[in-house]
Amino acid sequence: MIKILINFIFVLCLLPVVTSDCTCDDNVHNVVQAHSNKKLYPARISGFAGAVYDADFKPSCHDQRPNVLLPGFVTLTDGKLIVDRDFDLEKDSFLRLTIHGVDFDDPICLNGTSQYVVLPDNMCRINLCEFIGVPMCKILQKKGTHTLKELQKKLNFNTTLELPEPPSLLGLSLLDLFSGEFSFTFAVETAGETILELDIPTNHKNLQIGLED
């Protein structure tokens, strides 16, 4: 019975008239937005947006909301970083992740510290300049407003990023553990000070990751 129902829903999705729940219009339904919610920090990100795609570069959605697939692609479409004063990110800077999962009672990472034995701390606390590249760090640490366009121009930065196959731990793909709905906060810490927080996503409560169609 359930199988028939699923088949029925699947067929409905293929009919153009009733596609409402299944459509995934590029740059509409597959868009992930993010921004800094706390204004007190000396650096803020606003209007950050990216569209997600599957490995064949088809827009990726689930229930008309973006669905991040690994492997897959994300194309960054907008965003700017406002920096109130100069920093030395190259010298020392870390991303401290906080990750909440709908299927998890406790946060997975809490402000840079893993809350689960299977997950090493270095997946929750990441060297910023190794992660985004030193040339990008050199630009972002300067006081001013930095736009995605500026980075594209100065760094010849390709705004389409490949999302890799998920890493595996103890022979278990992290995607088996971490597919579902999640929310992320990235905090940037430099010289012992938190200077920026970025919440992902901000256009939905959670971000869907690795959900099957």
Residues at the site binding ligand NAG, with contacts judged by CB under 6 A: 96, 111-112, 158, 160, 162, 194
Which CB sits closer to ligand NAG, 65 or 125? 125
CA distances from 114 to 126, 170, 181, 194 (A): 12, 16, 18, 18
Closest distance of CB 105 from ligand NAG, Å: 19
Report d(CA 23, CA 85) in Å as an integer.
44
Closest distance of CB 63 from ligand NAG, Å: 26
Which CB sits closer to ligand NAG, 112 or 135? 112
Could you tell me which residues come within 8 angstroms of residue 58 by beta carbon, excluding any fewer than 6 positions away? 24
Which CB sits closer to ligand NAG, 58 or 64? 58
The values of phi and psi at residue 10, to 5°, are: -60, -45
Closest distance of CB 124 from ligand NAG, Å: 11
Which CB sits closer to ligand NAG, 65 or 189? 189
Report d(CA 78, CA 74) in Å as an integer.
12
In terms of Cα–Cα distance, which of 204, 152, 183 is closest to 33?
204
Closest distance of CB 158 from ligand NAG, Å: 4
